[in-house]
């Protein structure tokens, strides 16, 4: 069973979607630990509700960002974590953690990367006037939302959309594709070749899921 460590800073609805999928028996994984950098993150309550161990690590307790990530790395490694899942973790991951988990850290971003990386991907999409946006699960590298793309899902953007309405539409798909990406990882079906992620024997869940390896 795949051992997962989740890092979060806030609401934790993606964390919840992963928990639900595991509890439904659809994802053969165990969340070994939730680590938060914010003591008031609602994700903590979700961990408590489901008997998942959690840890608050205060970045201010460390002299450097590297030392903060060394602490996170050590906590994850000591629990045998094999995959690190960023679920609304509002920080740029630094070398000590990246080096310990090469192509073993995932993130979800609320836009179709490489468009609109960084903060407020949904607002950027609305302000730019795009007609389609969506979400992206990717492996994490040293950049901001730049790592190899695992799966994406798209939604329409309507003329009267606001950041809030588009965020809500995208979030529903986030909750589907994040557990799906983790399942593919757990099944050993993700092969990273350079910046491309090959998915072995992949059948998209529905038409909104895009994968160039599947043709009509």
Residues near ligand GRF (CB under 6 A) are 8, 10-14, 87-88, 108-110, 171, 174
Q: Which residue's CB is nearer to ligand GRF, number 76 or number 106? A: 106
Shorter beta-carbon distance to ligand GRF: residue 100 or 171: 171
Which residue number has the CB closest to ligand GRF? 88
Smallest gap from Cβ 138 to ligand GRF, in A, equals: 11
- Choose between 14 and 76: whose C-beta lies nearer to ligand GRF: 14
The one catalytic residue among 50, 109, 120, 175:
109
C-alpha closest to that of 95 among 73, 115, 78, 113 = 73
The least distance separating ligand GRF from the CB of residue 187, rounded to whole angstroms, comes to 23
138 in catalytic set: no
Nearer to ligand GRF, 70 or 210 (CB): 210
> Whose CA is closest to 155, among 210, 215, 106, 213?
210
User: Could you give the angle at the alpha carbon of 119 between the alpha carbons of 4 and 49, nearest 5°?
Assistant: 35
Instruction: Tokens for 57, please give them.
Output: 């690590």
CB of 110 to ligand GRF, least distance (A): 4
- As a whole number of angstroms, the distance between CA 134 and CA 36 comes to 26
Catalytic residues: 109
């Amino acid at each position: 069973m795949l051992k997962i460590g989740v890092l979060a800073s806030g609401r934790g609805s993606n964390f919840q979607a992963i928990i639900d999928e595991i509890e439904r028996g659809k994802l053969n994984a165990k969340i070994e630990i939730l680590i938060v950098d914010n003591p008031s993150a609602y994700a903590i309550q979700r961990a408590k509700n489901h008997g998942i161990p959690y840890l608050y690590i205060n970045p201010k307790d460390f002299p450097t960002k590297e030392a903060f990530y060394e602490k996170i790395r050590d906590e994850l490694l000591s629990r045998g974590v094999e995959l690190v899942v960023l679920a609304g973790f509002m920080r740029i991951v630094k070398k000590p953690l990246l080096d310990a988990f090469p192509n073993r850290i995932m993130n979800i971003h609320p836009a179709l990367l490489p468009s609109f990386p960084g903060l407020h991907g949904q607002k950027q999409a609305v302000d730019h006037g795009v007609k389609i946006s969506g979400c992206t699960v990717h492996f994490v590298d040293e950049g901001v939302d730049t790592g190899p793309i695992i799966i994406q899902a798209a939604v329409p953007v309507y003329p009267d959309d606001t950041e809030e309405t588009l965020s809500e539409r995208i979030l529903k798909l986030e909750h589907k594709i994040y557990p799906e990406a983790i399942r593919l990882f757990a099944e050993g079906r993700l092969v990273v070749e350079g910046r491309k992620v090959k998915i072995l024997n992949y059948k998209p869940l529905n038409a909104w899921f895009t994968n160039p390896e599947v043709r009509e």
